[in-house]
Structure 1
Amino acid sequence: MKKYTYKMKLLNTEIKNKVLQSMMRILDGSKNEIIAANKKDLDLFDKSDRAMYDRLIVDEKKVDSMIGAIDEILQQEDPVGKIKSERVLENGLKIQNKTAPFGTIMIIYESRPDVTIEAAVLAFKANNKILLKGGKEAIHSNLALEACWHQALEENGLDKDWIKLLHMNREETQEFLRNPTEKLDLIVPRGGERLIAFVKEHAKCAVLVSGRGNNFLYVDQTADWANSIKVILNAKIEKISACNALDKILVNANIDDYATKMKELNEVLNSHGVSVLVDKSASNILKDNEQIKDEAIWYEEFLAMKCVVGSVGNMEEAIGLINKYSGGHSATIMTKDQDMAGEFMDQVDSAAVYHNASTRFTDGGQMGVGAELAISTDKLHHRGPLGLEQLVTNKYYVYGNGQIRD
């Protein structure tokens, strides 16, 4: 019979906040050690993978942002034990539905050491134990950050097992997912298609998918063109390694001066170092651009200075392409027509839909959620940024005085 580690006990808000206060102080005093550990990882990394390399970097500013993320969660209300609903039945039973911890959350992620802070602080404040499975490319950074967590926990008389870094290769991880040595309640893979498929194939508990972008922007015929160019550039080049970056641009062929605008869009993107692939229709205007030969390109999240520009005849065609090919993460419509924007936002099946704004705002901090565990593209139990309030489940409390069911 399999023996599981017992679930971590419920902690009061005061002790959880004391751990976070300790962690902020410890991180601030350990900046040099953390940055030195990160340098070991950077020195061993292949810099040709720019997106992954950018995610790996930890400098003084990044440590300060980690401290800021903890402080933000420290200030937020404890999400555990909040009454969601309450009623008294005719038979006298009082029923409360209250928020409760998941139990143990495992997060599997690549490259980003700041996840070791942000994921752990969210899970811990929501009274969950967290198992961190970072990539081997960030091992020195993650070990340094785990040591800080353990110091903060021990200073406040808590077990180090609340926050634990797992040291497993691919085969060991696969075996752990199939036959975990402790009870897992939720797994969150943060990464590309291969990582997500690997976890879904082998995991025996709930998996909450996050991380895949492949975001679309549609330029309607009534769009403000200058505004559209500005939004496209921000969404595409501001941070190519982010899951909320832009990959596909669809332009309505009925827009005024269509050919001129398509050429301008291509030139602007090229001038900022972005290579532009085109569909068959757009290639009639952008004759020198590489044309898409494989449909798989439409499904691809680039994480690179590359995008697709396509041409559509109307909004319905754009919506059809987005719902077929996108990752269900974020999509934007650029238009002056409020009714059209409303229809687009209702019909597009993505976690976040935008009117005249960059997809780069799909982020916990930018959306007012605060630090996030991930951006979920699943529909159960939550879609969008997974902040503190989303890291709890629910539990029914039923109070009686001897009632029995007839």
Structure 2
Amino acid sequence: MKLLTKDIKNKVLESMERILDEEREAIIAANKKDLDAFDSADRAMYDRLVVNEAKIDGMIQSVKEVRSQDDPVGKIKSSRELENGLKIFNKTAPFGTIMIIYESRPDVTIEAAVLAFKANNKILLKGGKEAGHSNKKLEECWHKALTENGLEPEAWIQLLNMNRQETQEFLKNPPEKLDLIVPRGGERLIRFVKDHAQCAVLVSGRGNNFLYVNKDADWDKALQVIVNAKTHKISACNALDKILVDRNIPGYEDKVRELEKELRQNSVELLADDDVRKILPDTSPVEDESVWYEEFLALKAVIGSAGNVEEAIDRINKYSGGHSACILTEDEATAQAFMEQVDSAAVYQNASTRFTDGGQMGVGAELAISTDKLHHRGPLGLEQLVTNKYYVYGNGQVRE
């Protein structure tokens, strides 16, 4: 794939910012067709599907932030000259063709494509049928921006319109070389892609995020963080699902009751383990262990107890999705131990898990939140959409 200059890429992105602004009404009108055909009873999916003025502002801002970042391609990672005179440079290089499969969220059509394009990759976008009109309109915006700047649109950004069977066949026998596939959705989607893909798959895994209230926590701070992490945006993969309260916190029972009151005032449905139900008998029991593995994507949470930080760490590492985990404590040593030992892509002390997001973490847009450990973990931003290549310069050297 030909390497584009930073200037050409940034001109395309400038055009895209303008086009998104000009096409606001048409984008929202296309999205309304999707919303009208969707069952709004599935609140989490419906929230993800909505495109409004604020969402378009966010799309434009994502493009601007990526445009302002350095070109990630061609950066020298290392260099050396050997005794035989060979000069070896390890440089960043594009992946080639990236495919992302995602559900519901039309803004992924902007964020994924802007990152892939700035990193000099072609991207194939396989959005869900529920966002068909929205995604098609956003693809038209991309193609207009590319055409304005003398680039072949489908050589860089292409929206795929395939049903499940067609997608399966595409994964098994791709009509062009695929270098990386990113499934962004639930466990069924991830399994589907892994079962059929013939190239590398980078998983954007489930949330099921845990928060542990240590015995040394500032309780007022804790309540504020818990409510934000649980209720700020229930459809996000960084939303809170499970809360563990240390039984040794001063005033344990009163604090658990206060936590219940605070969450119920925010319309959160509560389940509790056996220990907590002794204090909160009106809460629903955790009837099956599978609930501890579940990502809710709803105004729903489990409150459980923990005897100490080690017990909390073990519980989190057993059940969480490896996305985000938080400890609320004023003890720095305890926080450090928790953050080192919890096996999650992002670990927090005294802050909401809602910050596990590319924009919030300073990488601009995000392709996904990777819960894999290879090739990257956490928000997939611009710098993570390149691989590397060795450039070796010689003068007739042969190996003896």
Structure 1 gaps of 5+ residues are: 1-7
SS of 1:281's equivalent in the other structure is helix
Please point out which of 48, 58, 62 is paired with 1:65: 58
Secondary structure of 1:85 counterpart: strand
Number of residue pairs matched by the alignment: 399
Matched, 1:141 2:134: yes
Three-state SS of the structure 2 residue aligned to 1:138 is helix
Alignment of 1:7-406 (within 5 A): 8-161=1-154, 162-406=156-400
CA distance in structure 2 between the partners assigned to 1:151 and 1:229 by the alignment = 48
**Partner Cα distance (2:330, 2:60) in 1:** 41
Structure 1: how far apart are the matches of 2:275 and 2:82?
A: 63
1:211 Cα shift?
4.2
Deviation at 1:155, TM superposition (A): 1.1
Q: Could you say what secondary structure the match of 1:196 adopts?
A: helix
Q: Is the 8 A contact 2:205 2:321 kept in 1?
A: no
Moved more, 197-206 or 8-17: 8-17
CA contact (8 A) 1:211 1:374 kept: no
Contact 2:366 2:381 in 1 (8 A): yes
Per the TM alignment, residue 92 of structure 1 is displaced from its structure 2 partner at its CA by 1.0
**Is the contact made by 1:274 and 1:307 (CA closer than 8 Å) also made in structure 2?**
yes
- C-alpha distance in 1 between matches for 2:275 and 2:175: 55
TM-score (ref. length: structure 1): 0.97
Contact 1:187–1:206 (8 Å) recurs in 2: yes
Residue pair 1:87, 1:95 contacting (<8 A) in 2 also: yes
Whole-Å separation in 2 of the counterparts to 1:59 and 1:291: 39
For the 8 Å contact 1:154–1:160, the answer to whether it is kept is yes
CA offsets 1:147-171 (integer angstroms, 9 cap, x no match): 1111111111111111000010000
Q: Distance in 1 between matches of 2:65 and 2:83?
A: 43
Distance 2:66 2:345 in 1: 23
C-alpha contact 2:273 2:285 (8 A) present in aligned 1: yes
Separation in 2, partners of 1:402, 1:364: 46
**Aligned residues: CA RMSD:** 0.7
Shift of 1:120: 0.2
Q: SS at the partner of 2:325?
A: strand
Q: Could you give the per-residue CA deviations for residues 28-55 of structure 1, whole angstroms, max 9, x where no partner exists?
A: 1111111100000000000000011011
Structure 2 unaligned segments of length 5 or more: list them.
Answer: none
- Amino acid of the residue matched to residue 239 of structure 1? K
The list of structure 1 runs, each at least 4 consecutive aligned residues, that deviate by more than 3 angstroms after superposition, is none
CA contact under 8 A between 2:99 and 2:181: conserved in structure 1? yes
Distance in 2 separating the partners of 1:215 and 1:78: 33
Q: CA deviation at 1:90?
A: 1.2
In structure 2, what residue type is equivalent to 1:10?
A: L
Distance 1:310 1:24 in 2: 46
Judge which range, 53-62 or 162-171, deviates more.
53-62
- Supply the distance in 2 between the matched residues of 1:211 and 1:34 (Cα, whole angstroms): 29
